[in-house]
Amino acid sequence: MGRMKKLLDQSLRPLVIYAFTVLVISIPVYFLIIDVIWENELDKHHYAIREKLEKRLTHLSLPDTAVDNMIAVLDKIQPGFSFNETTTPRPDSLYTVIRFDSFMNDREQFRCLTTDIRVNHKLYRVLVETNMEEVDETILAIGGVTVFFIMLLLAGFIYLNRKTALRIWQPFYDTLAGLRTFRLESGKAVPLPVSDVTEFTDLNASLDTLMQGSLASYRQQKEFTENASHELQTPLAIVKSRLDMLLQSQSLDAGQMRIVEQVYQAINRVSRINKNLLLLARIEHAQFEEKEQIALDETLAGVAEQFADRFENNALHYTESIEPFRVEANPVLTEILVTNLLVNAVRYTPTGGEVLVHLAGGVLTVSNTGAEALLAKNLFRRFAQASDEHAGSGLGLAIAREICDRYGWQIGYDFAQGMHRFSVRF
Protein backbone atom coordinates (compact mmCIF):
# COMPACT_ATOMS: atom_id res chain seq x y z
CA MET A 1 0.00 0.00 0.00
CA GLY A 2 3.01 2.28 0.33
CA ARG A 3 3.26 5.25 2.59
CA MET A 4 -0.01 6.85 3.50
CA LYS A 5 -0.31 10.57 2.80
CA LYS A 6 -2.53 12.93 4.64
CA LEU A 7 -5.17 14.71 2.66
CA LEU A 8 -4.17 18.13 3.98
CA ASP A 9 -0.53 17.69 2.99
CA GLN A 10 -1.66 16.60 -0.45
CA SER A 11 -3.42 19.89 -1.06
CA LEU A 12 -0.54 21.90 0.41
CA ARG A 13 2.24 20.40 -1.71
CA PRO A 14 1.20 21.65 -5.20
CA LEU A 15 0.48 25.07 -3.74
CA VAL A 16 3.96 25.27 -2.29
CA ILE A 17 5.59 24.06 -5.50
CA TYR A 18 3.61 26.52 -7.58
CA ALA A 19 4.42 29.46 -5.31
CA PHE A 20 8.08 28.52 -5.32
CA THR A 21 8.23 28.30 -9.13
CA VAL A 22 6.47 31.62 -9.61
CA LEU A 23 8.78 33.37 -7.22
CA VAL A 24 11.91 31.86 -8.78
CA ILE A 25 10.79 32.93 -12.26
CA SER A 26 10.03 36.39 -10.88
CA ILE A 27 13.72 37.01 -10.05
CA PRO A 28 15.00 37.52 -13.68
CA VAL A 29 11.75 39.23 -14.64
CA TYR A 30 12.11 41.76 -11.86
CA PHE A 31 15.69 42.28 -12.84
CA LEU A 32 14.93 42.88 -16.51
CA ILE A 33 12.15 45.32 -15.71
CA ILE A 34 14.27 47.25 -13.22
CA ASP A 35 17.17 47.33 -15.68
CA VAL A 36 15.03 48.64 -18.53
CA ILE A 37 13.50 51.32 -16.31
CA TRP A 38 16.91 52.33 -15.02
CA GLU A 39 18.42 52.70 -18.50
CA ASN A 40 15.42 54.52 -19.90
CA GLU A 41 15.36 56.95 -17.07
CA LEU A 42 19.13 57.59 -17.27
CA ASP A 43 19.00 58.05 -21.03
CA LYS A 44 16.20 60.61 -20.69
CA HIS A 45 18.15 62.30 -17.94
CA HIS A 46 21.34 62.39 -20.09
CA TYR A 47 19.48 63.96 -23.01
CA ALA A 48 18.00 66.55 -20.70
CA ILE A 49 21.47 67.39 -19.43
CA ARG A 50 22.74 67.66 -23.00
CA GLU A 51 19.88 70.04 -23.97
CA LYS A 52 20.37 72.20 -20.89
CA LEU A 53 24.13 72.34 -21.44
CA GLU A 54 23.82 73.35 -25.06
CA LYS A 55 21.09 75.92 -24.38
CA ARG A 56 22.77 77.51 -21.39
CA LEU A 57 26.18 77.72 -23.07
CA THR A 58 24.61 79.28 -26.18
CA HIS A 59 22.49 81.61 -24.09
CA LEU A 60 25.53 83.06 -22.34
CA SER A 61 26.71 84.50 -25.77
CA LEU A 62 30.32 84.29 -24.69
CA PRO A 63 33.25 84.80 -27.05
CA ASP A 64 34.85 81.62 -28.44
CA THR A 65 37.82 81.76 -26.12
CA ALA A 66 35.64 82.09 -23.06
CA VAL A 67 33.57 79.15 -24.25
CA ASP A 68 36.70 77.09 -24.73
CA ASN A 69 37.88 77.99 -21.26
CA MET A 70 34.56 77.19 -19.68
CA ILE A 71 34.38 73.85 -21.44
CA ALA A 72 37.89 73.05 -20.37
CA VAL A 73 36.92 73.87 -16.76
CA LEU A 74 33.75 71.79 -17.00
CA ASP A 75 35.71 68.92 -18.52
CA LYS A 76 38.09 69.09 -15.60
CA ILE A 77 35.77 69.54 -12.60
CA GLN A 78 32.24 68.42 -13.52
CA PRO A 79 32.01 64.71 -12.66
CA GLY A 80 30.58 62.49 -15.35
CA PHE A 81 31.36 64.81 -18.19
CA SER A 82 34.10 64.86 -20.80
CA PHE A 83 34.34 67.25 -23.76
CA ASN A 84 36.26 66.99 -27.01
CA GLU A 85 36.35 69.36 -29.93
CA THR A 86 35.34 67.71 -33.12
CA THR A 87 34.76 68.69 -36.71
CA THR A 88 32.47 66.06 -38.14
CA PRO A 89 29.16 65.38 -36.47
CA ARG A 90 28.50 61.76 -35.48
CA PRO A 91 25.27 60.05 -34.41
CA ASP A 92 24.52 59.75 -30.68
CA SER A 93 25.40 56.54 -28.97
CA LEU A 94 23.85 55.04 -25.79
CA TYR A 95 25.65 52.23 -24.01
CA THR A 96 26.46 50.58 -20.73
CA VAL A 97 30.01 49.96 -19.64
CA ILE A 98 31.66 48.38 -16.65
CA ARG A 99 35.05 49.72 -15.75
CA PHE A 100 37.34 50.53 -12.89
CA ASP A 101 36.54 53.82 -11.28
CA SER A 102 39.51 55.50 -9.61
CA PHE A 103 37.30 57.67 -7.45
CA MET A 104 35.12 54.82 -6.11
CA ASN A 105 38.18 52.59 -6.16
CA ASP A 106 36.08 49.68 -7.50
CA ARG A 107 34.70 48.26 -10.70
CA GLU A 108 31.53 50.16 -11.46
CA GLN A 109 28.82 50.05 -14.07
CA PHE A 110 28.05 53.22 -16.01
CA ARG A 111 25.32 54.30 -18.39
CA CYS A 112 26.81 56.54 -21.06
CA LEU A 113 25.59 59.00 -23.69
CA THR A 114 27.99 60.22 -26.38
CA THR A 115 26.56 63.16 -28.25
CA ASP A 116 27.48 66.38 -30.06
CA ILE A 117 26.69 69.87 -28.92
CA ARG A 118 27.16 73.01 -30.95
CA VAL A 119 28.24 76.22 -29.24
CA ASN A 120 29.15 79.30 -31.30
CA HIS A 121 29.29 77.16 -34.46
CA LYS A 122 31.85 74.98 -32.89
CA LEU A 123 31.21 71.29 -32.52
CA TYR A 124 31.99 69.48 -29.25
CA ARG A 125 31.72 65.80 -28.59
CA VAL A 126 30.31 65.23 -25.09
CA LEU A 127 30.33 62.06 -23.02
CA VAL A 128 27.82 62.01 -20.16
CA GLU A 129 27.97 59.02 -17.82
CA THR A 130 26.14 58.02 -14.66
CA ASN A 131 27.11 55.36 -12.20
CA MET A 132 24.38 52.74 -11.89
CA GLU A 133 23.93 49.57 -9.78
CA GLU A 134 25.74 46.55 -11.15
CA VAL A 135 23.85 43.51 -12.56
CA ASP A 136 25.02 41.00 -9.92
CA GLU A 137 24.21 43.33 -7.05
CA THR A 138 20.73 43.97 -8.44
CA ILE A 139 20.07 40.25 -8.90
CA LEU A 140 21.39 39.53 -5.44
CA ALA A 141 19.10 42.12 -3.90
CA ILE A 142 16.06 40.88 -5.83
CA GLY A 143 16.96 37.26 -5.05
CA GLY A 144 17.32 38.06 -1.38
CA VAL A 145 13.99 39.80 -1.22
CA THR A 146 12.33 37.00 -3.18
CA VAL A 147 13.73 34.30 -0.91
CA PHE A 148 12.47 36.26 2.06
CA PHE A 149 9.00 36.40 0.58
CA ILE A 150 9.09 32.70 -0.35
CA MET A 151 9.79 31.94 3.25
CA LEU A 152 7.02 34.22 4.35
CA LEU A 153 4.61 32.57 1.90
CA LEU A 154 5.55 29.03 2.94
CA ALA A 155 5.14 29.79 6.59
CA GLY A 156 1.82 31.43 5.83
CA PHE A 157 0.64 28.52 3.71
CA ILE A 158 1.49 25.95 6.32
CA TYR A 159 -0.05 27.97 9.09
CA LEU A 160 -3.21 28.81 7.18
CA ASN A 161 -3.51 25.28 5.83
CA ARG A 162 -3.28 23.85 9.32
CA LYS A 163 -5.74 26.32 10.63
CA THR A 164 -8.37 26.67 7.97
CA ALA A 165 -8.12 23.28 6.32
CA LEU A 166 -8.32 21.54 9.65
CA ARG A 167 -11.39 23.54 10.43
CA ILE A 168 -12.95 22.82 7.04
CA TRP A 169 -12.23 19.09 7.29
CA GLN A 170 -13.14 18.80 10.95
CA PRO A 171 -16.60 17.30 10.23
CA PHE A 172 -14.88 14.67 8.11
CA TYR A 173 -12.54 13.71 10.92
CA ASP A 174 -15.47 13.67 13.34
CA THR A 175 -17.34 11.31 11.01
CA LEU A 176 -14.27 9.12 10.76
CA ALA A 177 -13.88 8.99 14.53
CA GLY A 178 -17.56 8.14 14.85
CA LEU A 179 -17.33 5.34 12.31
CA ARG A 180 -14.37 3.83 14.13
CA THR A 181 -16.53 3.26 17.19
CA PHE A 182 -19.25 1.53 15.18
CA ARG A 183 -19.76 -2.12 16.10
CA LEU A 184 -22.35 -4.31 14.47
CA GLU A 185 -22.70 -6.29 17.67
CA SER A 186 -23.75 -3.19 19.58
CA GLY A 187 -26.93 -3.08 17.50
CA LYS A 188 -26.82 0.71 17.34
CA ALA A 189 -25.74 3.10 14.59
CA VAL A 190 -23.28 5.72 15.85
CA PRO A 191 -24.54 9.30 15.74
CA LEU A 192 -22.57 11.25 13.11
CA PRO A 193 -21.85 14.97 13.56
CA VAL A 194 -24.21 17.46 11.94
CA SER A 195 -22.53 19.66 9.33
CA ASP A 196 -23.76 22.64 7.31
CA VAL A 197 -21.58 21.57 4.36
CA THR A 198 -23.51 19.74 1.63
CA GLU A 199 -20.80 17.15 0.95
CA PHE A 200 -20.43 16.19 4.58
CA THR A 201 -24.18 16.07 5.10
CA ASP A 202 -24.47 13.76 2.07
CA LEU A 203 -21.60 11.62 3.30
CA ASN A 204 -23.09 11.27 6.77
CA ALA A 205 -26.52 10.51 5.38
CA SER A 206 -25.11 7.78 3.13
CA LEU A 207 -23.07 6.31 5.96
CA ASP A 208 -26.08 6.34 8.22
CA THR A 209 -28.12 4.46 5.61
CA LEU A 210 -25.29 1.99 5.24
CA MET A 211 -25.06 1.42 8.99
CA GLN A 212 -28.79 1.01 9.36
CA GLY A 213 -28.82 -1.48 6.50
CA SER A 214 -25.98 -3.52 7.99
CA LEU A 215 -27.62 -3.48 11.38
CA ALA A 216 -30.93 -4.59 9.94
CA SER A 217 -29.44 -7.53 8.05
CA TYR A 218 -27.30 -8.40 11.05
CA ARG A 219 -30.36 -8.38 13.26
CA GLN A 220 -32.25 -10.49 10.77
CA GLN A 221 -29.47 -13.03 10.57
CA LYS A 222 -29.22 -13.17 14.34
CA GLU A 223 -32.94 -13.52 14.74
CA PHE A 224 -33.00 -16.14 12.05
CA THR A 225 -30.50 -18.39 13.78
CA GLU A 226 -32.15 -17.87 17.14
CA ASN A 227 -35.64 -18.37 15.79
CA ALA A 228 -34.66 -21.39 13.72
CA SER A 229 -33.09 -23.02 16.76
CA HIS A 230 -36.05 -22.18 18.94
CA GLU A 231 -38.49 -23.45 16.35
CA LEU A 232 -36.57 -26.71 16.22
CA GLN A 233 -36.75 -27.20 19.97
CA THR A 234 -40.51 -27.79 19.98
CA PRO A 235 -40.67 -30.57 17.34
CA LEU A 236 -37.62 -32.12 18.98
CA ALA A 237 -39.43 -32.05 22.31
CA ILE A 238 -42.44 -33.71 20.70
CA VAL A 239 -40.34 -36.47 19.12
CA LYS A 240 -38.55 -37.08 22.40
CA SER A 241 -41.75 -37.23 24.42
CA ARG A 242 -43.44 -39.48 21.83
CA LEU A 243 -40.49 -41.84 22.05
CA ASP A 244 -40.81 -41.86 25.84
CA MET A 245 -44.47 -42.80 25.34
CA LEU A 246 -43.67 -45.43 22.73
CA LEU A 247 -41.36 -47.08 25.24
CA GLN A 248 -44.34 -47.61 27.57
CA SER A 249 -46.04 -49.81 25.02
CA GLN A 250 -46.28 -53.39 26.31
CA SER A 251 -45.90 -54.91 22.86
CA LEU A 252 -42.35 -53.72 22.13
CA ASP A 253 -39.86 -56.51 21.53
CA ALA A 254 -36.10 -56.41 21.96
CA GLY A 255 -35.43 -55.37 18.37
CA GLN A 256 -37.92 -52.52 18.54
CA MET A 257 -36.47 -51.40 21.86
CA ARG A 258 -33.07 -51.19 20.22
CA ILE A 259 -34.50 -49.09 17.39
CA VAL A 260 -36.07 -46.71 19.88
CA GLU A 261 -32.72 -46.40 21.62
CA GLN A 262 -31.06 -45.59 18.29
CA VAL A 263 -33.66 -42.94 17.53
CA TYR A 264 -32.96 -41.44 20.96
CA GLN A 265 -29.31 -41.19 20.03
CA ALA A 266 -30.05 -39.43 16.77
CA ILE A 267 -32.46 -37.06 18.47
CA ASN A 268 -29.85 -36.30 21.12
CA ARG A 269 -27.39 -35.46 18.43
CA VAL A 270 -29.82 -33.12 16.68
CA SER A 271 -30.61 -31.36 19.93
CA ARG A 272 -26.91 -31.10 20.70
CA ILE A 273 -26.22 -29.44 17.34
CA ASN A 274 -29.22 -27.21 17.76
CA LYS A 275 -28.19 -26.19 21.24
CA ASN A 276 -24.68 -25.41 20.09
CA LEU A 277 -25.87 -23.41 17.08
CA LEU A 278 -28.01 -21.34 19.37
CA LEU A 279 -25.15 -20.90 21.78
CA LEU A 280 -22.81 -19.85 19.00
CA ALA A 281 -25.34 -17.32 17.72
CA ARG A 282 -25.71 -15.90 21.19
CA ILE A 283 -21.98 -15.63 21.79
CA GLU A 284 -21.49 -13.95 18.43
CA HIS A 285 -24.20 -11.49 19.15
CA ALA A 286 -22.45 -10.28 22.23
CA GLN A 287 -24.76 -11.76 24.77
CA PHE A 288 -23.17 -13.01 27.98
CA GLU A 289 -21.94 -9.46 28.59
CA GLU A 290 -21.53 -9.62 32.35
CA LYS A 291 -18.06 -10.41 33.63
CA GLU A 292 -16.66 -11.40 36.95
CA GLN A 293 -13.49 -12.70 38.55
CA ILE A 294 -13.44 -16.46 38.13
CA ALA A 295 -11.20 -18.93 39.89
CA LEU A 296 -10.35 -21.01 36.85
CA ASP A 297 -8.97 -23.84 38.95
CA GLU A 298 -12.34 -24.19 40.68
CA THR A 299 -14.24 -24.10 37.38
CA LEU A 300 -11.94 -26.82 36.07
CA ALA A 301 -12.41 -28.99 39.14
CA GLY A 302 -16.19 -28.63 38.93
CA VAL A 303 -16.30 -29.51 35.25
CA ALA A 304 -13.86 -32.40 35.58
CA GLU A 305 -16.03 -33.90 38.30
CA GLN A 306 -18.94 -34.10 35.86
CA PHE A 307 -16.72 -36.17 33.60
CA ALA A 308 -15.78 -38.70 36.25
CA ASP A 309 -18.35 -41.19 34.91
CA ARG A 310 -17.03 -40.80 31.40
CA PHE A 311 -13.41 -41.31 32.41
CA GLU A 312 -14.35 -44.42 34.30
CA ASN A 313 -16.61 -45.79 31.59
CA ASN A 314 -13.99 -45.34 28.85
CA ALA A 315 -11.19 -46.50 31.14
CA LEU A 316 -9.35 -43.22 30.62
CA HIS A 317 -6.46 -42.19 32.84
CA TYR A 318 -7.19 -38.69 33.94
CA THR A 319 -4.37 -36.62 35.37
CA GLU A 320 -4.57 -33.00 36.36
CA SER A 321 -2.05 -30.50 37.64
CA ILE A 322 -3.82 -27.26 38.34
CA GLU A 323 -2.46 -24.11 39.91
CA PRO A 324 -4.84 -21.46 41.23
CA PHE A 325 -5.48 -18.88 38.53
CA ARG A 326 -8.06 -16.15 38.14
CA VAL A 327 -9.52 -14.71 34.96
CA GLU A 328 -12.07 -12.00 34.37
CA ALA A 329 -14.77 -13.34 32.09
CA ASN A 330 -18.32 -14.55 31.93
CA PRO A 331 -18.67 -17.61 34.19
CA VAL A 332 -21.07 -19.40 31.83
CA LEU A 333 -18.78 -18.96 28.84
CA THR A 334 -15.72 -20.00 30.80
CA GLU A 335 -17.44 -23.16 31.90
CA ILE A 336 -18.55 -23.89 28.35
CA LEU A 337 -14.99 -23.40 27.09
CA VAL A 338 -13.53 -25.82 29.64
CA THR A 339 -16.37 -28.29 29.10
CA ASN A 340 -15.96 -28.28 25.33
CA LEU A 341 -12.23 -28.92 25.56
CA LEU A 342 -12.81 -31.83 27.92
CA VAL A 343 -15.69 -33.24 25.85
CA ASN A 344 -13.42 -33.11 22.86
CA ALA A 345 -10.65 -34.91 24.71
CA VAL A 346 -12.97 -37.60 26.08
CA ARG A 347 -14.74 -38.14 22.79
CA TYR A 348 -11.61 -38.74 20.78
CA THR A 349 -9.47 -40.64 23.24
CA PRO A 350 -9.41 -44.36 22.56
CA THR A 351 -10.40 -46.65 25.44
CA GLY A 352 -7.57 -46.93 27.96
CA GLY A 353 -6.00 -43.66 26.74
CA GLU A 354 -4.84 -40.69 28.72
CA VAL A 355 -6.31 -37.26 29.37
CA LEU A 356 -4.10 -34.59 30.91
CA VAL A 357 -5.26 -31.23 32.17
CA HIS A 358 -2.60 -28.75 33.06
CA LEU A 359 -3.04 -25.19 34.28
CA ALA A 360 -0.01 -23.07 35.11
CA GLY A 361 1.17 -19.57 34.41
CA GLY A 362 -2.04 -18.56 32.72
CA VAL A 363 -1.93 -21.37 30.18
CA LEU A 364 -4.44 -24.19 30.19
CA THR A 365 -3.59 -27.30 28.21
CA VAL A 366 -5.84 -30.28 27.66
CA SER A 367 -3.98 -33.21 26.14
CA ASN A 368 -5.22 -36.61 25.14
CA THR A 369 -3.91 -39.74 23.49
CA GLY A 370 -4.34 -39.80 19.73
CA ALA A 371 -3.09 -41.61 16.67
CA GLU A 372 -2.14 -38.82 14.32
CA ALA A 373 -2.19 -35.04 14.05
CA LEU A 374 -5.49 -33.43 13.11
CA LEU A 375 -5.95 -30.90 10.35
CA ALA A 376 -5.27 -27.76 12.34
CA LYS A 377 -6.76 -25.67 9.55
CA ASN A 378 -10.22 -27.16 9.95
CA LEU A 379 -10.11 -27.79 13.65
CA PHE A 380 -11.83 -24.64 14.86
CA ARG A 381 -14.20 -24.21 11.94
CA ARG A 382 -17.88 -24.97 12.12
CA PHE A 383 -18.90 -28.39 10.89
CA ALA A 384 -15.46 -28.87 9.37
CA GLN A 385 -14.42 -32.33 10.45
CA ALA A 386 -10.73 -32.51 11.18
CA SER A 387 -10.73 -36.27 11.34
CA ASP A 388 -12.78 -39.16 9.97
CA GLU A 389 -14.88 -39.45 13.08
CA HIS A 390 -18.28 -37.84 13.10
CA ALA A 391 -19.36 -38.20 16.66
CA GLY A 392 -19.43 -34.56 17.67
CA SER A 393 -21.71 -31.70 16.85
CA GLY A 394 -18.94 -30.15 14.75
CA LEU A 395 -19.36 -26.99 16.78
CA GLY A 396 -17.64 -27.61 20.12
CA LEU A 397 -14.24 -26.26 19.13
CA ALA A 398 -15.76 -23.46 17.04
CA ILE A 399 -17.55 -22.34 20.19
CA ALA A 400 -14.32 -22.63 22.18
CA ARG A 401 -12.57 -20.43 19.64
CA GLU A 402 -15.40 -17.92 19.61
CA ILE A 403 -15.18 -17.62 23.40
CA CYS A 404 -11.39 -17.21 23.27
CA ASP A 405 -11.69 -14.57 20.56
CA ARG A 406 -14.09 -12.57 22.63
CA TYR A 407 -11.66 -12.29 25.55
CA GLY A 408 -8.50 -12.10 23.47
CA TRP A 409 -7.30 -15.48 24.67
CA GLN A 410 -5.18 -17.55 22.31
CA ILE A 411 -6.34 -21.04 21.53
CA GLY A 412 -3.99 -23.40 19.76
CA TYR A 413 -3.46 -27.00 18.82
CA ASP A 414 -0.41 -29.17 18.31
CA PHE A 415 0.39 -32.83 18.20
CA ALA A 416 3.47 -34.35 19.78
CA GLN A 417 4.48 -37.79 21.04
CA GLY A 418 1.11 -39.34 20.36
CA MET A 419 -0.82 -36.65 22.20
CA HIS A 420 -3.24 -34.07 20.88
CA ARG A 421 -2.71 -30.88 22.82
CA PHE A 422 -5.14 -27.97 22.96
CA SER A 423 -3.92 -24.92 24.77
CA VAL A 424 -5.54 -21.69 25.84
CA ARG A 425 -3.35 -18.76 26.84
CA PHE A 426 -5.32 -16.41 29.05
Partner 1 sequence: MKILIIEDEPGLAESIGAYLTAQDYLCEYAATWAQAREKVELYRYDCILLDLMLPGGDGMDILETLKQQGQQGQQDGVIIISAKGDYETKIRGLHAGADDYLAKPFHLPELAARIYSVIRRRSFANHNQVVQSELKVDLLSKMVTVNGQVVVLTKKELDLLLFFIGNKNRVISKSALAEHLSGDIADMFDNHDFVYAHVKNLKKKLSEAGYGNYLKTIYGTGYKWEG
Q: Which of 66, 98, 228, 247 binds partner 1 (CB under 8 A)?
A: 247
- Please state, in angstroms and as integers, the Cα–Cα distance from residue 335 to each residue in 10, 196, 330, 341, 398, following that order: 54, 52, 9, 10, 15
CB of 316 to partner 1, least distance (A): 12
Strand partners, 319: 356
Q: Are 313 and 347 in contact (CB under 8 A)?
A: no
Site for partner 1 in 321-360 (CB under 8 A): 332, 339, 343, 346-347
Choose between 46 and 285: whose C-beta lies nearer to partner 1: 285
Task: Collect contacts of 119-122 with beta carbons under 8 A, ≥24 apart.
Answer: 119/54, 119/57, 119/58, 119/67, 119/71, 120/58, 120/62, 120/63, 120/64, 120/67, 122/64, 122/67, 122/85
Q: Which of 33, 237, 295, 360 binds partner 1 (CB under 8 A)?
A: 237
Choose between 50 and 382: whose C-beta lies nearer to partner 1: 382
The interface region with partner 1, picked from 56-64, 171-179, 239-247, 373-381 by CB under 8 A, is 239-247
Q: Rule CB under 8 A: is residue 238 a binding residue for partner 1?
A: yes
Q: Are 265 and 240 in contact (CB under 8 A)?
A: no
Site for partner 1 in 379-398 (CB under 8 A): 391, 393, 396
Q: Which of 86, 170, 214, 313 binds partner 1 (CB under 8 A)?
A: 313
Task: From 93, 74, 96, select the one nearest 84 (Cα to Cα).
Answer: 74
Strand partners, 420: 368, 415
CB of 319 to partner 1, least distance (A): 20
Stretch 285-304: interaction string toward partner 1, x if CB under 8 A: --x-----------------
Binding site for partner 1 (CB under 8 A): 230, 233-234, 236-245, 247-248, 252-254, 257-258, 260-261, 264-265, 267-269, 271-272, 275, 278, 282, 287, 306-307, 309-310, 312-314, 332, 339, 343, 346-347, 391, 393, 396
